[in-house]
A and B are shown apart, each in its own frame.
Chain A
Amino acid sequence: MSSTHRRVRGIAGALIAGAMLVGASACANAEPTSAGLADAGPEGVDDGSTLTLWTRAPLEKQAKLLVEAYNDSHENQVELTVVPNDDYVAKVGAAAGSGGLPDLFAADIVYVPNWVEQGLFQDISAQIDGLDFKDEINEGHLSAGTLDGKEHVLPFVLDLSMLFWNKELAAEAGLDAEAGPANLEEYAEWAKAIQGLNKPDTYGTATGLNCGGCLVFTWFPSIWADGEEVLSEDGAESLLNSDTAKAVYDTWNDLWESGAVLPSSRDEAGPTWTAAFTEGKVGLMFYPATLLSSTPFDVGVSGIPGPEGGASTFVGGDGLGISKDSKKAAQAWNFLNWMMSEEAQVEVLAQNNDVVSRADLASNEYSEKDPRLVTINEVAGNGDTPVAINFQQAFNAPNSPWLTLVRNAVLEGSDTVDADNDEITAVLSQ
């Protein structure tokens, strides 16, 4: 019996921890959030304050670089906390309830619309409007954080999905390793050709078929590349049963049936979905551009093609904003303002082969050395970021209806796309 109590208490405790914090927040909300922002000035305040910043583990490398560079050149000091990906929402939720959010925190860009609506971020429209390069800032990220015409977040780290191919394997299979596949059909041909090499432990392509986030990140662009949409304007209806979308599922179903897909892709829930490509065991795949710098062999890079060709990308990554609980908004703005500067974008991000979030800096002294970076930066401008309030539940959650749709269509080859798509709409429109 004591075990019963302990377990029940455990669950209750977990829920309650959040609850008690939420109760306390009623008071926190009533106080003025900050005296800072109004008189922050265009540059913010750099007076030696200590700022706190939270981000999730996949962006640790970029976040560390930015924070170190800022701390070295400013009076203010930023303390970075990196949270495991799966725990991030729960941690932010508990802190939001208790009024304990850090000064700055990053949010997966697909969650930003929901979090802005819940009032977790401060309105920084006046400051952003004051930036003379405002029109050059990545539009997808900026609009995800815009509610009723007010802007709340700036792009922190851009993570783009791109088509990567292993040049050595492509050349071995007699493919044009410099050009890359032009459309999804050629993509499938490439995968089968590389699979046809029959090299041990080497596969044509790979993906994460049990990872809703990976599939959103890598398959939506194929639909956009053909000029189709995945969601309705208001994010309440799913359009993932269009003919283009079905063509994408069919291509992958064909690839899966032909055995050209890494077998462990079937159960891949995310943690290791890029590992096989990075180890050189996969011919080509839709892959996050942030990993370009850590891919140890020669790769070709292009935008993600659709069934008819074209190129698009999912402009993912994290937006960064000032939390509702921050008492140092003016100092926090100083970090944000610096983060958007040429110094941070070029000398920190670009220098480390990361994507810049300003179009006017897409071509810079570092990217010129590597034409692949120019490609990535240019495709970023044509990319898209879907906006929906219930995005997490519909797509990223382990039990999301989107995973059901993909697994039915690709692994089972069943004809249930329309019905499964209705289920996505049902979740989106809640």
Chain B
Amino acid sequence: MTATLTPVAPGRPTDAGRSRGSGRRRRSALTGWLYATPTAVFVLLLFVLPLLLVLQMSASDWPLLGGNRGLNLPANYTDAVSNRFFADSVAFTVKYTVLTTVILLALSLGLAMLVQESSRWKGLLRTAFLIPSALGLASASLLFYVLYSPIAGPFAELMASWGFTFLGTPDGALWSTIFLIVWRYAGFYMLLMLVGLQGIPEDVYEAARIDGASRWQTFTGVTLPLLRPTLALTTVLCVTGSLLAFEQFYILTKGGPDNSTITIVQLIYSVAFQGPNDLGVAGALSVIVLLALVVINIAQIRAFNRKAED
């Protein structure tokens, strides 16, 4: 075919040249695919396949001990939504997320500015704030479980004399858990904030000083707007992480006292492994959570982008 075309387009490169070129392109495309393969395989095995399986599970009658027993489509989703803890767990998860995000982000921004300003104690402070992040969340939760224990903990006598236990009341359990999370994650978010703060050029601050801006004006007029990409990143991370909270509540409260601290992921776990042992309904709950997360994250990213355009 190509041979007959050659005379018609004399100005173009020769056949040989063209085929060499497309061969090079093909080879480089092949190399590209090769580079991408390991990641693609991992994504396929560890993300796409599990996701498909959860979708299948959520559509099937699938008892934990009995295996797949065929299609059970609308029933799993109606059972999931009508679970007697569904509404409570959604409400609790949202409440926990809002509280954690607000406290954690405000505190970590404060810490970052403190650490940036003070020069003398900078190294010590940064290390001190960051060290808890080196501890796994489950280990940290166990550590606090003992600290909060009314029997074995160091505050046992104090609690006895006050007639109060950290994990004994719904509010106590919620705030004790939030304290653990803030302790564990403040350093990590501080680090992200610090990177953002150091990305703000010094001359902008200098200009603000020349214009006679007060400290507060500098903060609201310069720091916050220029920190927006960092704030967007940390908010998305913190909201998503909090919505998927599990380990801390599983270890510290097990959803108690009186079922007041059941998060949505804990509900999934208990439907799958603690009682109903129904992987179908648990899968349906997981799919609902996944969809909600996608929607929430799109909304967050859009909101931050729109602000940036203003």
Q: Which residues of A contact B (CB under 8 A)?
A: 1, 3-5, 7-9, 11-13, 15-16, 18-20, 22-23, 25-26, 89-90, 92-93, 96-97, 114-115, 118-120, 210, 263-264, 266-267, 269, 272, 275-276, 390, 392-394, 396-400, 404, 407, 430
Contacts and interface: CB of A to CB of B under 8 A. Distances in A.
Main secondary structure of the interface of A (DSSP, over half): helix
A93 B65 contact: yes
A5 B258 CA distance: 32
Contact of B50 (A13, A26, A396, A400): A13
A206 B48 CA distance: 51
Nearest to A398: B254
B150 A15 contact: no
| Nearest 10 pairs of A and B residues by beta carbon | A393-B275, A397-B275, A93-B64, A16-B50, A12-B50, A118-B65, A22-B67, A90-B273, A264-B150, A398-B254
Interface string B168-180: 1000000000000
Given A1-B236, A16-B54, A89-B273, A263 B150 contact: yes
Contacts of A276: 151
B202 to A, nearest CB: 31
B237 interface: yes
Contacts of A210: 256-257
A429 to B, nearest CB: 14
Contacts of A11: 244, 265, 268, 286, 289
19 contacts: A1-B236, A5-B47, A7-B240, A9-B47, A11-B268, A18-B272, A19-B53, A89-B273, A96-B65, A118-B65, A263-B165, A264-B150, A272-B151, A392-B277, A393-B275, A396-B275, A397-B270, A399-B274, A400-B275
Contacts of A12: 47, 50-51, 53-54, 286
A263 B272 CA distance: 33
Given A12-B51, A267-B256, 8 more contacts: A3-B237, A4-B236, A5-B47, A15-B53, A15-B282, A15-B283, A22-B68, A398-B256
Interface in B255-284: 255-259, 262, 265, 268, 270, 272-277, 279, 282-283
Given A16-B53, A26-B67, A93-B64, A393 B256 contact: no
A19 B57 contact: yes
B81 to A, nearest CB: 16
B184 to A, nearest CB: 14
Contacts of B53: 12, 15-16, 19-20
Tier of interface size on chain B: 35 or more
A118 B63 contact: yes
B297 A4 contact: yes
B142 to A, nearest CB: 12
B151 A275 contact: yes
A210 B255 CA distance: 11
Interface in B188-207: none
B293 A18 contact: no
Contact of A23 (B68, B85, B160, B277): B68
B259 A399 contact: yes
Contacts of A18: 64, 272, 279
Max chain B C-beta neighbours (<10 A), residue from A7, A90, A120, A430 = A7
B274 A264 contact: no
Contact of A8 (B160, B273, B290): B290
Interface string B152-173: 1000000010010101100000
B8 interface: no
B283 A397 contact: no
A9 B240 contact: no
Max chain B C-beta neighbours (<10 A), residue from A12, A89, A264, A390 = A12
B295 interface: no
A430 B273 CA distance: 17
B96 interface: no
Contacts of B165: 263-264, 266-267
Contact of B168 (A267, A396, A404): A267
Contact of A407 (B149, B258, B268, B279): B258
B66 interface: yes
B274 A25 contact: no
Given A7-B241, A9-B46, A267-B168, A15 B57 contact: yes
Max chain A C-beta neighbours (<10 A), residue from B50, B240, B277, B297 = B50
A266 B168 contact: yes
A93 B168 contact: no
A272 B165 CA distance: 16
A96 B283 CA distance: 19
Given A15-B279, A16-B49, A19-B279, A399 B54 contact: no
A265 B54 CA distance: 39
B49 A399 contact: no
A18 B241 CA distance: 24
B50 A89 contact: no
B129 interface: no
B77 interface: no
A89 B274 contact: yes
A1 B297 contact: yes
Contact of B85 (A4, A267, A399): A399
B15 to A, nearest CB: 47
Contacts of A407: 257-258
Nearest to B283: A15
A157 to B, nearest CB: 22
Contacts of A430: 276
A146 B246 CA distance: 38
Contact of B259 (A4, A9, A404): A404
Given A11-B268, A16-B49, A263-B150, A4 B293 contact: yes
